[in-house]
Amino acid sequence: MGPLATPDPEQIRWNEKYRREGLESFGIKPSSLLVEHENLLCLQPCGPALDVAAGNGRNALYLARLGFDVQALDISDVAVAWLAEHARRRRLNVYARWANLQIERPSEHQYEVVVNINYLERGILPALEASLRPGGLLFFQTMTTDQVDLLGERMPRRFLLAPNELRDSFPNLKTLEYQESIVTASVSGTKKAMASLLARKPGPRGCDPVRPAGPMRAP
């Protein structure tokens, strides 16, 4: 599916934001949730990974450097074009594609790793779980209602996780780590109330890893 002839309001909003502020201004440093678990990621069989609502693709690019073939989905065609070009120039396996995740669902049993960071679309949660291969890892992190209740930011509550909502959203996955805390965002330096989940889909792991020794780094 490609961008619609009549763009979605979210697509317009994010395109305008990315055009105004530039994709680099959001920082290309990957999420600490991924970096802190690099050892675990390196033990995962190489294969397809999914980054939903990828934005500038900081997390998709990181996974590609570790050797994954990454599908990066986003509703902003401005972000998708930027990421595709950025990955192409660095010869990284990131396939950036336009998608409206309010409508589109990822296919089942596809991915070794699924990443959902700084985005909340409740309707997609069962499909994220189903899209993992047995043994696959889910990395999920986004803001909680404490952003409003404790930190006083004015924003719609529908974009925020309720207490323990994330913990209870993937009943068929095995939780490896879960926390709710106030953190300082690395790029903006502002405080964020975040819930983070690292979970694994039970079942036999895939075929043997064909990973080169050590994480691959971009030149």
Task: Give the footprint of ligand SAM on this chain (CB under 6 A).
Answer: 10, 14, 53-55, 58, 74-76, 79, 99-102, 117-119
Burial of 33 (0-12, 13-18, 19+ CB in 10 A): buried
Minimum CB distance to ligand SAM, residue 206 (Å): 25
Residue number, 142 or 169, with CB nearest to ligand SAM: 142
The residue number with the shortest CB distance to ligand SAM is 55
Residue number, 50 or 75, with CB nearest to ligand SAM: 75
Residue number, 27 or 206, with CB nearest to ligand SAM: 27
Identity of residue 12 = I
> Rounded to an integer, what distance in angstroms lies between the CA atom of residue 164 and that of residue 201?
19
Q: What is the 3-state secondary structure (H, E, C) of 146-162?
A: HHHHCCCCCCCHHHCEC
Residue number, 60 or 132, with CB nearest to ligand SAM: 60
> Rounded to an integer, what distance in angstroms lies between the CA atom of residue 76 and that of residue 70?
17
Minimum CB distance to ligand SAM, residue 158 (Å): 12
Identity of residue 175 = T
Minimum CB distance to ligand SAM, residue 43 (Å): 23
